[in-house]
Amino acid sequence: MSVTAHPTPAGTEEYQPVFVGATLEALGEILTRYPTRQAALLPALWLVQGARGWISDRNMAEVAEVLGLTPAYVKGVVTFYTMYHQHPVGRHFVQVCTTSPCNVCGAEDVVRALLEATGANELGATSPDGNWTVIEVECLGACGFATPILVNDDFIESVTPDKVPDLVRKYK
């Protein structure tokens, strides 16, 4: 398998690799769990997203190099999984379930309340202060606790429109 070389494109600052120090060590430990290097791809992408907040094309090329894959292969995988961000997102990334079971319990009202309270205004857009991005997602696996939302890694159950302003304030 060939790994393409990645010279720094002219005019951009030098690429800072993710897999150095503790992150590289973490990956080393992860690699011991699987019989192939490729199997560490999802965990490696999580490490990148943890470090950088999103996964750029350059990051994908780095992951490819580290795991002996090609950048195109990695990109194909990244684009399959909706939790990997291919673009920068707000400091607080909010996922709201609007699938049927939550939908009948008022999930769409929760979305509206969140868009308003965060100032993000539009689904997928980032609020002017760069703090908030709100998206609708499909079932979060907590349908009995309508409406569940994820704020970054915090899983919050039973959100209703009236609880939204307080909730948003807590994250400011």
The residue ranges that bind another protein (CB under 8 A) are 1-2, 4, 6, 33-36, 38-43, 45-46, 57, 60-61, 67, 69-77, 79-84, 95, 98-105, 137-146, 150, 153-155
CA pair distance 85, 94, nearest whole angstrom: 13
* Cis, peptide link before residue 4, omega less than 30° from 0: no
Smallest distance, another protein to C-beta of residue 104, A: 5
Residue 149's binding partner among another protein, ligand FES, none (Cβ under 5 to 8 angstroms by kind) is none
CA pair distance 22, 109, nearest whole angstrom: 42
CA pair distance 137, 81, nearest whole angstrom: 12
10 Å Cβ neighbour count for 20? 10
> What single-letter amino acid sits at 141?
G
Residue 39's binding partner among another protein, ligand FES, none (Cβ under 5 to 8 angstroms by kind) is another protein
Smallest distance, ligand FES to C-beta of residue 51, A: 29
Burial class (CB in 10 A: 0-12, 13-18, 19+), 96: buried
Over the window 99 to 118, marking each residue x when it contacts ligand FES by CB under 6 A and - when it does not, the resulting string is x-xx----------------
Smallest distance, ligand FES to C-beta of residue 98, A: 7
Q: CB-wise, 63 or 97, nearer to ligand FES?
A: 97
Residue 4's binding partner among another protein, ligand FES, none (Cβ under 5 to 8 angstroms by kind) is another protein
- The answer to whether 97 and 139 are in contact (CB under 8 A) is yes
For ligand FES, the binding residues (CB under 6 A) are 97, 99, 101-102, 139-143, 148
